[in-house]
Structure 1
Amino acid sequence: MTKGVVAALVGLLLATPAHADRALLIGVGSYPNLPASLRLQAPEEDARRLAAALTSAGFPRDRLELMTATDGTPPTRAAVLASLDRLAAEAVRGEQVLVYFSGHGAQAPTLTPALEPDGFDELYLMLDARAWDGGAGRVPGAVLDKELAARISAIRAKGADVWFVADACHAGGVFRSGGADIRTKALDTKQLSIPARVSAPGDALPPGLAEAPVDPAGAGRLAAFFAAAPGALAIERRLPLGSPDARPLSQFSYALARAIAAGRVRSLRDLAVAIEATDAGIGGGAPKPSFEGSLDMGVLGLTPDRPRRYPLARAGRTLSMPAGIEEGFAAGDRVALYIADTRVGESVVLESGIGASRLAMPPGLPPGAAEGAAALQIVGDAEHQAALFAAIAPLSARGAAEGLEVTGRLWRPGASRVCPPLSADDPPGTRPVSMLALPALGQCDVLIATIANRGTVAVDVSPIYFEADGKVTGLGYVGGGSARIGPGEQRRIAVRALTQDKQGKPLPEGVERVAIVALPAVTRSPRDLRGAVGTVVTRSGALASLDVGAGALTYRWRVEKR
């Protein structure tokens, strides 16, 4: 089923699964050929942290290539292109390939106007990047967007799926809303001596580059995550917020690694929901990430919902933990303390914020043990679901939800172990259904709900999904879109029923629900509850008292074998 996730930074305990997926992680920040003022502190650590999150989550280390100035092959332009070519040569049908880049982005006037209607190439600056070379008409050491696209197309032509992630930007300007610790990852053209225009050879295309690529029959799927939408800025800042151990990290990559490590990786769309929910901690001026393509793909064959462990540090007479409300923690939660695989005690959460929590120091903890201990959150899914639904029930059909109209459609493609993907548009054969009298859903059935704002003011809408197995998650919007829905706007959500997994193992059957929680749009940025449903509602009761305008619409159905 399409499910939202809660972002987290964790250590995970699970045997490595058998799969053939691969990952290429590129982090470039030192830039020895550019002025020292242009060097970045975060990207190399971004790539290392993402590699650690993937391998801790069960991704095989020998299927991952890490490229930084100090890890593996230095990421020069030639080395990166060679690695991409190697991925294309070795790609096999059915695998998923992650290509990740963190570093500087820029724009330069194009020599191929037939491929760039706006007249500019987007550049990804590698380790050997230099200032503009007028004779060659390019930025040495930079990989052009079209060069990258050609190699990704070659991978997909083999039938492999590609997940591309870019934590970079190519717009000038300054991000001013977050404070002195925030720095953009964009380069102004003047900083690289890039001219405003160049003499371009008409519509001629260089060898190896074609017009907009056409996907061949059987081509793999493509999904892309961008730290900043076109014209916006990617940033680095000191993270976790407020932690004494904070260090310069890229905001987007930080949220991505936390979400992967959390084990809530049922689909790329769910991962996107987790990232968007985490970004609320920056404030209303935060850059807005962009998520495109086949977001219902899995995440590198990783298994979701693993036990999650969080490293602890001594903070005076208490313990600090780099995990907060994004991970579902709230004051009063009880957690178990471990050193390696040995349980050494139990503690309670004293207070929790975004990215950090403070725990009570348990009595009898051996001297020095806190620095080597980890906390494991102990929460029952069924208990969470019951408490959450009880908190939402009083909000039904009032307040900000009064202006919402929800209509449903049902797609029944036929039961199979591997269900067909859901397209951006409703597939042929979908039919209208009443959201107030939903039929039972069987294996592979998809319920598609359209949420339309028929009111006169904007509202912040968080669809929360109650699964048959007791889990509670937030749902991503099909085709993207923020939690804020203006008058006349609409969003779509989709829930896929599963009664067995891909190996034929039975999955829980029973009643499922979706609650569409609406809040008045009274803040600069949307209030998105999907990434913290366990905390905001279950124990603190904060949702019911968040403001008097809160409201919700709830719908239910049954999942069963047919």
Structure 2
Amino acid sequence: MRLFLALLGLAALPMEPAAAMVRAVLVGASTFSDPTLGAYALPGAATDARRMADALAMLGTDRDAMTLLTGEAATLPAIRAALDRLATTSGAGDRAVIFLSGHGTQAPASRGDPLEPDGRDELFLAADAGPWDARSKTVPGALIDDEIGRRIGELRARGTDVWVIIDSCTGGSLLRGSAGTPKTLAPERLGIPATAPLRGAVDGSGFVDGGLAGGGRLVAFAAAGPGAIAWDDGDGGAFTRALAGAIAQHAPASFAALAAAVDARPPGGTSAGFWTAGELSAPVLFDGRSPDMIDLARALPPLPFATTLSVDRAGACRAAPATPPRPAKADDGATLLRHCDHVRVDMGEAGSPLRVEAWYRDAAGGYTSLAPPLGLIVAAGRWANVGFTFVTHDPGTGRALPRGEEYLVLIARDSGGAAIGATLLAFRAAT
């Protein structure tokens, strides 16, 4: 998962007014005005946007509060204007949904961008996208992940909860021989120059870059993780269809339950390749307060397997020194961490297969899931681990982050879903 995941649910949960509004911007970039890209039209993207509008309506969202942009209307200026209106009309306790379906690709990031450890920006191609412009070093008509992250941050700073959904490839590569259309344009098709990734750097965030700070909660769903492909079979994206179907069939109470109900297997595939992040424990559309995982963990017996904690400086915001530091402990048992310390917790074997949830609670009380939708699997002969990079200030803006006790909560569930054990690990800034 992306560096800094521990910050996705950064600030305190807002007080929710009785008349909280849900507003949505739904984009299906299904055509291109540039004739050189005409062959890459993706009619299913428009179907995706309409399908998601129907799903939100089933959840009670007023259609008058939805902005739907498809076909020639899904230009970059129109998308930006819709996101501007979303920000200016949303306030504390409101909920915002941002849905993007279309082609994705990658391009070189600006040198030294701390939010792009792999050296690449993810791009969402709007209807007015065109080939790479060597002078400006940009792709015209492309929405960059940094901008998406900034807009998410602006909404959350207002106390607005945000659900962002991306049905687009984030890997920037093509697969052949499958019964469907990959929702990506390879960079070379747009004339984008190749760039070498930073050594050892991994960016698992896709388009949800930079949404690090604010008072509102954040949940992100994406059709494809890093290096993976999102598929369109002519009737829209496989991921959006599965997501809308799960909403209609299961009426899930939480984002975690919704993610578990989504069967978005690719053509010929056997497992779902979609990606999630953020406060999945929150009720769907944030209709209520998130549960307190700390209280749940404290009420359970210890985990029935060992855990080992290690700290190093190998996070993407700081190169690792020759000798990793030894974890320092406070008198109360909390692990003391410095800015950019990378924390890893390894889990030992379990006597019988268990599913482990991993939740990070930041100093302001926001929860972030560090595990896949169905959890981490531990069993005899099978190990699992979870990790995050601890930061004391936003690496992009330098803004200081809230200080206080932070926790990693590990909850083990048996095959029937019952919680049978938990471990609570506390962390605090060293200075």
- Tell me whether the two structures share a fold, i.e. TM-score over 0.5: yes
Structure with the greater alpha carbon radius of gyration: 1
Residue 232 of structure 1 contacts residue 287 of structure 1 at CA under 8 Å; is this kept in 2?
A: no
User: Which residue pairs with 2:319 in the alignment?
Assistant: none
C-alpha deviation, 1:459, in angstroms: 5.9
In 1: Cα distance, 2:166 partner to 2:259 partner: 14
Counterparts of 1:77 and 1:267, CA distance in 2: 32
Mark the CA change 1:158 to 1:182 in structure 2 (over 3 Å): closer, same or farther: same
How do residues 208-287 of structure 1 correspond to structure 2 at under 5 angstroms? Answer: 215-216=213-214, 219-237=215-233, 247-262=234-249, 264-275=251-262, 278-280=263-265, 282-284=267-269
Q: Distance in 2 between matches of 1:60 and 1:284?
A: 36
The aligned counterpart of 2:283 is 298
Other-structure match for 1:161? 161
Distance 2:109 2:266 in 1: 37
Q: Cα gap change, 1:112/1:287 in structure 2, threshold over 3 Å: closer, same or farther?
A: farther
Q: How does 1:361-376 map to 2 (within 5 A)?
A: none
Query: Contact 1:224–1:291 at 8 Å: present in 2 too?
Result: yes
Q: CA deviation at 1:462?
A: 11
Equivalent position SS for 2:51 = helix
Match of 2:350 in 1: 454
Give the AA of the match of 2:258: L
Kindly indicate whether the alpha-carbon contact (under 8 Å) linking 2:122 and 2:145 is maintained by their aligned counterparts in 1: yes
Could you tell me which amino acid in structure 1 is paired with residue 84 of structure 2?
Answer: D
Q: Is the 8 A contact 2:25 2:68 kept in 1?
A: yes
CA distance in 1, matches of 2:76, 2:268: 35
- TM-score of the superposition, structure 2-length normalised? 0.63
Show the counterpart of 1:53: 55
Deviation of 1:104 after TM superposition, in Å, equals 0.7
RMSD: 3.7
> For the residues of structure 2 that align with 1:554 and 1:27, how far apart are their CA atoms?
40
Tell which has more relative contact order, 1 or 2 (C-alpha 8 A, sep 6+): 2
Q: Kindly state the Cα deviation for residue 139 of structure 1 after the two structures are TM-superposed.
A: 0.2
Distance 2:413 2:191 in 1: 54
Aligned to 2:189: 191
1:103 aligns with 2:105: no
Cα deviation digits, residues 245-283 of structure 1 (max 9, x gap): xx52201101111112235131111111111xx235844
Q: Assess, with a 3 A threshold, how the Cα gap between structure 1 residues 285 and 188 changes in structure 2: closer, same or farther.
A: farther
Q: Is the alpha carbon distance of 1:255 and 1:49 closer, same or farther for their aligned partners in structure 2, counting shifts above 3 Å? A: same
The aligned length equals: 310
* CA–CA distance in structure 1, aligned partners of residues 255 and 271 of structure 2: 22
Q: 1:85 to 1:169 in 2, by over 3 A?
A: same
Within 5 Å, give how 1:487-526 maps onto structure 2.
487-489=381-383, 516-517=414-415
Shift of 1:429: 8.0
Q: Secondary structure at the match of 1:164?
A: strand
Tell me the CA shift for residue 18 of structure 1: 6.7
Letter in 2 for 1:489: W
Partner of 1:182: 180
Whether the 8 Å CA contact 2:161–2:286 is kept in 1: the answer is no
Instruction: Describe the superposition over 1:446-469 as per-residue Cα deviations: whole angstroms up to 9, x where unpaired.
Output: xxxxx97525xx969699xxxxxx
Give the letter aligned to residue 57 of structure 2: T
CA distance in 2, matches of 1:482, 1:553: 10
CA distance in 1, matches of 2:151, 2:171: 24
1:87 corresponding residue in structure 2: 86
Structure 1: where are the runs of 5+ without partners?
1-16, 199-210, 238-246, 303-417, 437-450, 464-476, 493-513, 518-551, 557-562
1:30 corresponding residue in structure 2:
31
- 1:50–1:125 CA distance, 2 compared to 1 (3 A): same
How many angstroms does 1:421 deviate by?
3.6
2:174 and 2:382 map into 1 onto residues whose CA distance is 33
Structure 2 Cα separation of the partners of residues 214 and 252 of structure 1: 25
Aligned-partner SS, 1:300: helix
Q: Is the 8 A contact 1:57 1:263 kept in 2?
A: no
Identity of aligned residues (%): 32
* CA spacing shift, 1:258–1:162, aligned 2, 3 Å: same
Question: Which letter maps to 1:300?
Answer: L
SS in 2 for 1:433: coil
- d(CA) in 1 for partners of 2:229, 2:192: 19
Equivalent residue for 1:62? 64
Shift in CA distance, 45/222, structure 1 to aligned 2, threshold 3 Å: same
Q: Which residue of 2 aligns with 1:480?
A: 372
Shift of 1:53: 2.1
